[in-house]
Structure 1
């Protein structure tokens, strides 16, 4: 006998479906391409779960809400999910938005699997209700700082937006660079024009400028201004938060967007499942899927595993993080408690420092793995 097969489903697909609330930035000022990749991966995962029989014969049904990078909008969506009776919440890319969702999910006793946000303090207090797939910021940004040091950059400047995620990034960079003789100078990317920022950077003498700021504004104008300033021709531009990962970066900047190192969370080789999913997502997205798309897919697999073993009752699902083991697109996924991290943290996926090849900006070069 074959297992029943279900479509990915819409919100009105019937009472038998197990609903999952999904958060993603799908409109500005959110990083919409990241949201689109996350949702594409999650929906592909749901389709595969449903093709394999769903959860105890019931299909998974995504209920999607756009956060637009707004923490209050995310918190309101979690309230709505609770009223709709979802079994769990999933998704989100922006760390500060994910923290708002995690805080509300914890207060409501609603399981939340955060797909992509990396802020260490993604929950305001230790909680049993929240788990995370992506590595914490403290891990990835240390790998990035080590790449800068090996490349000879000890005088570093940042063009930074205000916010908890960017502030944490500055602290991590300073903590890693200072014991090795490095310094970090911060410029306010919102208060300064690109020209004024270039003037400050030239006076500072930094050999690297890191973009700790939103995309496409003000990141794209800053890159364009630095590339055209002859005083800064030897200055490395970096973007640890991953802005150059997405096709829009290349479309807006072309060759100016090459040789800008960024972080992504991919192993040297995907699993066989990951290779199949990559081909499916490439066709759907019209280009190579980012690591965010794989995080979305793996989120659906993990939640299906939890619900299959403990049922769709969200009270029973929350303690299951420590017992789940899922073969994902990038390796096996398990969760544990990590010192200093208040949520269930997945086993860490490989972290890469990558840039776009100046000879072919559509091609990525792996500069460092950690």
Structure 2
């Protein structure tokens, strides 16, 4: 029996090893060149201005063409630039005139705040302004509560990210405050910004310089943290962020001559406003004249299955198929090594099953009752 099984053993081993040898990583979203950790730029034009950002993307919002990038899919902490995803997710879900009474938990969120109270004096519209103009972490939590709670909002945000094919993005908070496992990339931030800018309400929130904000006694003024709204010709948004662990991040969009350029930077160590302005200038000069190095992909259709690359479970109510949580978590945690181990284990499992089957059949033949006359 063992001699008969040796060829089967060799075959299963070969299958396992072949599967390992030919396993390849998923191509980066938006094009092969965007998988590079270094600078990728078009030929025939001068390189983009130097930036101290670890990662950046320059893209044409209309065509989706990525004009230049550096470590486009590198995963970093997004800080408050994640609030773009909060807004993109919740604007379609919440009536802007809905009255909201923030909880004490929302009011006492750490970090940047607009200064909410627990009184029912706010509308969703007010909180969206506080979220995108003043980067209020208190407003982010109040909006999550208005959407049915933190858990549901995070599900909705991660579902929205998968729909946008922002597969480097995992939301663990609605505010962008650092939390283990939370991530995004310059590519994803550009994707999210592009989706947001297609919504007139989003554009209004990110482009408002100064607004009146409700208070227990009358109101006070809040201002937009995006300094380029006052400094850069054609600036229309979008969002900045900073934490001690994430360092500085920023997404800016500007329009000139009917065209919009998006610049997203992540993990910048210093003052970045002038650098972003120079990257925007380069984008306007290069658009329409160069071969793109990649592309901002379009969102998936609502009915299409999404890639299961996050640990959070997407919400079935958002119109996409919800993967099984355990399978989703396992897929998100897989590495090339774990895939290799899995293939070998499957092969050995099949081998053991065949050996056991052969052994059982032999025992049955040797122990069956003898017929009369034998």
Q: Fold-level match, TM-score > 0.5?
A: no
Structure with more contact order per residue of length (Cα contacts < 8 Å, sep ≥ 6):
2
TM-score (structure 1 length as normaliser): 0.23
TM-score (structure 2 length as normaliser): 0.23
Flag the structure with higher strand content.
1
